[in-house]
Structure 1
Amino acid sequence: MSGSCASWRGHIIVYGLDDVGLRTVEQLYLAGVKVVVVEDDADPRLVRVVRGWGVPVVIGSPRLVETLDEAGLGGAVAVICVLADDLHTIEAALLTRENRPDIRVVVQLRNPAVGRALSALSISVLDVAGLSAPSLVESCLRTGTHDLDLDGHPFVATQVVADVSSRLRSRYGSLAPLAVTGADGGDMVVCPGRDHRVRTGDLVTLLGTAAELARAGLHGTAGAPVPVRSGRLRSKWHLARSVFSAVDRRLMYALAGLFLLATAAMVVLRLGYREPDGTRMSVLDAAYFTVETIATVGFGDFNFRSQPPWLRGFAIALMILGALLATTFFALLTNTLVTIRIEEALGNRRLKQLNGHVVVVGLGSVGVRVVERLAGTGTDVVVIERNENNRYATQVRDSGVPVIFADATLPQTLHRVQLPSARAVAVLTSDDLINLETGLAIRDQLGEQGADVPVVLRLFDRTLAATVERNFGLGQARSTAALAAPWFVGAALGLDVIATFYVGSQLMLVGRLTVAPGGGLDGLAMQDLSARTRVVAINRAAADGALEHPPRRDTRFAAGDQAYLIGPYEELLQVLRRDTLSPSGLADVARARAKPDVPGRRGHQASI
């Protein structure tokens, strides 16, 4: 099947078939785009899946010109490189750029410095962890809100519980309804019309500006602001709490003994001590002499040579008891402070004070991004990681987040991180089986409290994720590959993907397209689009770029307009390609931009 690809035109080549690669190929296939996969160490199971879609797979290294020739690089319009190894990704991307300087190249890369270097070569660099982290954080915090920026205008997608039974239009006005889920947990209605009737208790997802939310009486639904302390202030606060909690009874007993001894000494000295001229000690003199004696300083300001025998005996007892109590107190205090410093360095001390925190299991590229975003909101975070040599552990600990090296499936580990008082748990390792085992162990430990603590699982397989949610009740299964794949598809097709997020278990895509003259959308009424796709705003070319929100259903697209759409990604990709980016349109673009030859490439065919 791969041999026929060399003469293809207007197709997209995907390097790599693991994780994001498979989801990217799937979305391109669903959108009707011709795709060729290049993989030198492909999983036979994944190859069978892709070939079952009619997508050819070229078995070979994308770092070889011969393999790229076989995949039809000469007639391709874009290349998506999602190899597992960053070094191989860099080599394949540079080789592609050398042989096709005009082709659109999109790569997955985790190193920001290398990413900036590739961007200078007109290579689009995307990071799966950074693209998927916002949705994972929202699932943990359960704010029910997603902040969107449409052409510099801030919008908020928020979830509310319907307080009355009515039509959407009469209760929420101009707010754009994105989804409605029945109070009984029934099927979700995606992008319903404003005349859709909701019942009290239904979960409604709406999109609008802050002013529109306020007019609908929903200004408080955007999520209560989370108090954010600066890193230095938070560090001092946790240290103060650590000191207070570390003060054990022995230290308190020693301090109480010193206080009682000093008080008794001040009373005795005030009443019994006489100077040679018969004057008594003042209260300040008694306090000064007591501290001087207990501290074994002995400046010679006062002496007991001329005092009664009982007072000299009391002085002896004061010196002995004072020295013993003071030594004990300072020894216990030193031990406490040293213990605090050691446990702070290991991240253990803060664990005892955690409440309303988020437990993150797995400190990979996705986990560290989620931790950074959670900490940025002022949320306490604790990390469980198996690998003691984890590359991100020092970075996370330096930011004040405790990291525990242990097995998250063990009850003692979950007890150590104060699981019952946690706000949420995010299981983010790169292994689906480990994530599932950990999620089940967490559910067992939480028991009846499990309904109050959301468990967010990172699962690659979407079918597995849906099955886990239905049968195990583990909460929310999220696929980072599914969240990130639309960005790669959009970048390859020349589209502008603004955001991806989940509404319940439905992945939603926010995209922007520019209507092409004479294309499939030019002159089309918005009401004629898919019922599961919503145009939330449109930037009119004829109105000097003024943003029209919300547009009327009978509004027609015009050439040059920029439309902002929200919907399930499968259908939105179809809409985004309905204009100039249909399979035939891609081929037309390739032919229009064809050049006779590109220097430096052996046997190069017509390029775009």
Structure 2
Amino acid sequence: MTSEGWGTPPVEPISQHYIVCGGNALAHRLILELVEHYEVPVVVLVADRSRDHAPHIEQLAGVAAVVEYSSITDEALRAVSIGTARGLALVEGSDQENIHAALSAQGHNPNIRIVLRMFNQRLGENIERLLRNGAALSGSATAAPAFAAAALGRPNSVEVGGRFLHIAFDDAIAADRLCIVADHIDRQDLSKIRLMPEQEGGSAEFVRLATEIGGDGPVRVDGAAVGADRNADRALETVAETGGVAALQALPTEPREPIGWGRRLRWRVLDTARFFTSARLRLMLLTAFAAVLMSFGVLWYLNRDFGWTLYISLLDLAGAAQPDQPADIAAGTGTGGAWQRAAQVVITICGITFAPVATAIVVEVLASGRRGQPRNPSAGTRDHVIVVGLGNVGTRVAAQLHELGVPVVCMERDPQARGIAAVRALGIPLVLGDGPFEEQLRRARLKHSRALVAVSGDDATNLEAALEARHGNPEVRVVVRLFDDNFAGHVYATLDNAASRSVSYLAAPAFAAALMGREVRGTLSVFRHVLLIAELTVEDGSGLIGRNRHDLEDPGGVRVIAVRLARSPHLQWNFADRTRRLGPGDRIVVAATRSGLARLNTVLVEEG
């Protein structure tokens, strides 16, 4: 172990190892995945061994060495034996720094597997083409769907083969589920969750019962006959007795938030009006508008011709109407009587009022755009989600909620945060400043919000924001980003209508699998636990050749949920033939725990 500038390599001669560059939370979780589940030697390259998660990383069993260099130079790569390594993970630093390091590593070891973290996913796709054996992943993009879904109180989904996989709990489980993924769920003690249980276990009776709901004839449960009309009630009782059940289900389309167009339009009109105008200006405009409507009614009453009334009213608003002359009035050729002339005067005066106000609004909008000022939340903001923290994750969560049509308000204390420009481009309101949370949440219209998502990089800050939000609005749903599992357990036990997610916990399994050459399509959350959806290709020389479902499935670890045969372009969900052996060109989709996917990978590598 050394600092930059030493001439001798700090690592004892080592080969077939994996290098992780970074000392952040993602690096910490990734190293745990590699040493605990994949059981491979790991060398860690950090900028400062005394900062961030580096001290904890140094204490992990299975870490061969922790090397300190201020930047990833050629000397640093040689110091961690890049030439004999099997894989390299770059999970800290900017996109540009990671690209430079990846290309340098490839120059030292052309066959090394490289996985780099990239915020810009489009750039990452292009970089993958430059690497002989590499993958570019975004930790924030992997984790953001789970946070957004938790804020809306629904499970996130992963798209596979045109279908959207998600986790359903208890009575939301449908008969066409793919498999049971968890049972013995105790929401007060999440350590009791049993992932990927055996089909013949505590949940088997529920599975059989659920498939028979709605059929004719009695069903036997615990040795007693139950009528068909009581099936549903008994199924729920069975779920309660086993402590809850979670299942993997598929939908043909991704569920969207049920927000009616009328409510969206009303919110948008009110929000826009209150953003561009002050209270006094709005009062003046409403008064003028009411006067115009009343005058329009007078004109229509006198003439009984709606088209002509609308025509003359619009001309009056623009100041273009031809007024009656005294001679015309004396000759009886005027356009109307005294009431009509009075109504036209009112409309014309109100039109004179509207013109400068509209000009002022346009000027203010253009001026605000030049100054680069973010948009403030207005008094019309309702039923929205507050996102606290505009780092990589917060920015993606806000963008995803906005794309779903959910009103969003962001809060950020750092005026230089990278997400400020992104949310401003989307027109998302922002509360910016380093004031007390109570005041910031008030400005964010907490009392009218539906949920708060605290995703800053600090656990204590996130918890403080959640507690302040719950104090200001006891009904608000809170979603907290927490790294520490024990901390998260206390949150679940003490707060109702709350959820906790860890970005590194959600993203690390995908990075570890990618480092081993496996394609993880996405992650699904079962409370604080992670379920991976991975797609594996059967290639010549692969350990998958000649295996069937029975060989691959592992109780407590792996379920095969779909198979695509080489001769077929379509996935076959819940492939019924458990004895058919896989051949070159076949593809399988598995749902797996972190350890299950690691065990599957180890078997395939050893036998491939």
What does residue range 87-106 of structure 1 map to in structure 2 within 5 Å?
87-106=96-115
Provide the C-alpha distance between the structure 1 equivalents of 2:592 and 2:296, rounded to a whole number of angstroms. 75
Q: Conserved in 1, the CA contact under 8 Å of 2:267 and 2:382?
A: no
**1:396 to 2:432 alignment:** no
By how many angstroms is 1:480 displaced? Answer: 1.1
Aligned residue type for 1:427: A
**1:54 to 2:62 alignment:** yes
By how many angstroms is 1:18 displaced? Answer: 1.2
Aligned to 2:47: 40
2:437 alignment partner, one of 406, 410, 422: 410
Aligned residue type for 2:470: R
By how many angstroms is 1:562 displaced? Answer: 3.8
By how many angstroms is 1:116 displaced? Answer: 4.8
Output one character per residue of 1:476-526: Cα deviation in whole Å (capped at 9) or x when no partner: 221111211122211211111111121122111112335685849965763
Provide the C-alpha distance between the structure 1 equivalents of 2:361 and 2:489, rounded to a whole number of angstroms. 46
What does residue range 473-492 of structure 1 map to in structure 2 within 5 Å?
475-492=498-515
Q: Provide structure 1 residue ranges, at least 5 long, that are not aligned to the other structure.
A: 212-218, 271-283, 309-313, 590-608
By how many angstroms is 1:331 displaced? Answer: 3.2
Provide the C-alpha distance between the structure 2 equivalents of 1:414 and 1:251, rounded to a whole number of angstroms. 30
**1:575 to 2:600 alignment:** yes
Q: Conserved in 1, the CA contact under 8 Å of 2:118 and 2:136?
A: yes
Aligned residue type for 1:157: H
Say which is worse superposed, 329-338 or 105-114, in terms of deviation. 329-338
Aligned residue type for 2:77: L
Q: Conserved in 2, the CA contact under 8 Å of 1:294 and 1:322?
A: no
By how many angstroms is 1:296 displaced? Answer: 10
Provide the C-alpha distance between the structure 2 equivalents of 1:140 and 1:36, rounded to a whole number of angstroms. 37
SS in 2 for 1:83: coil
Aligned residue type for 1:579: L
Output one character per residue of 1:275-295: Cα deviation in whole Å (capped at 9) or x when no partner: xxxxxxxxx89x979x98996
By how many angstroms is 1:265 displaced? Answer: 9.9
Q: Provide structure 2 residue ranges, at least 5 long, that are not aligned to the other structure.
A: 3-8, 207-234
**1:17 to 2:23 alignment:** yes
By how many angstroms is 1:368 displaced? Answer: 1.8
2:591 alignment partner, one of 560, 566, 572: 566
Provide the C-alpha distance between the structure 1 equivalents of 2:142 and 2:542, rounded to a whole number of angstroms. 34
Aligned residue type for 1:367: G
By how many angstroms is 1:459 displaced? Answer: 2.4
Q: Conserved in 1, the CA contact under 8 Å of 2:552 and 2:600?
A: no
What does residue range 448-487 of structure 1 map to in structure 2 within 5 Å?
449=475, 453-471=476-494, 475-487=498-510
**1:361 to 2:388 alignment:** yes
Provide the C-alpha distance between the structure 1 equivalents of 2:45 and 2:499, rounded to a whole number of angstroms. 33
Provide the C-alpha distance between the structure 2 equivalents of 1:517 and 1:68, rounded to a whole number of angstroms. 31
1:138 alignment partner, one of 149, 156, 165: 149
Output one character per residue of 1:527-570: Cα deviation in whole Å (capped at 9) or x when no partner: 78542223233537687677453246964764645432223213
Q: Conserved in 1, the CA contact under 8 Å of 2:88 and 2:112?
A: yes
Aligned residue type for 1:124: A
Output one character per residue of 1:245-267: Cα deviation in whole Å (capped at 9) or x when no partner: 97855544455556767888999
Aligned residue type for 2:197: P
Q: Conserved in 1, the CA contact under 8 Å of 2:554 and 2:596?
A: yes
Provide the C-alpha distance between the structure 1 equivalents of 2:320 and 2:572, rounded to a whole number of angstroms. 82
2:561 alignment partner, one of 537, 542, 559: 537
What does residue range 242-281 of structure 1 map to in structure 2 within 5 Å?
242-243=272-273, 248-254=282-288
Aligned to 1:172: 175
Provide the C-alpha distance between the structure 2 equivalents of 1:294 and 1:41, rounded to a whole number of angstroms. 69
Aligned to 2:32: 26
2:129 alignment partner, one of 93, 104, 120: 120
Aligned residue type for 2:43: V
Q: Conserved in 2, the CA contact under 8 Å of 1:533 and 1:572?
A: yes
Aligned to 1:280: none
Say which is worse superposed, 54-63 or 544-553, in terms of deviation. 544-553
Q: Conserved in 2, the CA contact under 8 Å of 1:296 and 1:323?
A: no
Aligned residue type for 1:90: I
Provide the C-alpha distance between the structure 2 equivalents of 1:102 and 1:429, rounded to a whole number of angstroms. 37
Aligned residue type for 1:103: I
Provide the C-alpha distance between the structure 2 equivalents of 1:13 and 1:488, rounded to a whole number of angstroms. 13
Provide the C-alpha distance between the structure 2 equivalents of 1:262 and 1:108, rounded to a whole number of angstroms. 63
Q: Conserved in 1, the CA contact under 8 Å of 2:560 and 2:591?
A: yes
Q: Conserved in 1, the CA contact under 8 Å of 2:535 and 2:590?
A: yes
Provide the C-alpha distance between the structure 2 equivalents of 1:128 and 1:255, rounded to a whole number of angstroms. 51
Between structure 1 and structure 2, the one with the greater Rg is: 1
Provide the C-alpha distance between the structure 2 equivalents of 1:292 and 1:141, rounded to a whole number of angstroms. 49
Aligned residue type for 1:574: R
Provide TM-score, normalisation by structure 1.
0.74
What does residue range 213-252 of structure 1 map to in structure 2 within 5 Å?
223=255, 226=258, 238-239=268-269, 242-243=272-273, 248-252=282-286
Aligned residue type for 2:78: D
Provide the C-alpha distance between the structure 2 equivalents of 1:129 and 1:463, rounded to a whole number of angstroms. 23
Cα gap change, 1:227/1:96 in structure 2, threshold over 3 Å: closer, same or farther?
Answer: same
Output one character per residue of 1:60-95: Cα deviation in whole Å (capped at 9) or x when no partner: 356333332332222111111112344432332222
By how many angstroms is 1:229 displaced? Answer: 7.0
Aligned to 2:196: 191
Q: Conserved in 2, the CA contact under 8 Å of 1:180 and 1:205?
A: yes
Aligned residue type for 1:191: M
Percent identity of paired positions between Structure 1 and Structure 2: 23
Q: Conserved in 1, the CA contact under 8 Å of 2:557 and 2:595?
A: no
Output one character per residue of 1:438-476: Cα deviation in whole Å (capped at 9) or x when no partner: 1111111112x1xxx321122233443334333455722
2:168 alignment partner, one of 159, 162, 175: 159
Cα gap change, 1:34/1:555 in structure 2, threshold over 3 Å: closer, same or farther?
Answer: farther
1:427 alignment partner, one of 440, 447, 454: 454
Output one character per residue of 1:355-378: Cα deviation in whole Å (capped at 9) or x when no partner: 322111222222221122112212
Provide TM-score, normalisation by structure 2.
0.74
Say which is worse superposed, 340-349 or 456-465, in terms of deviation. 340-349
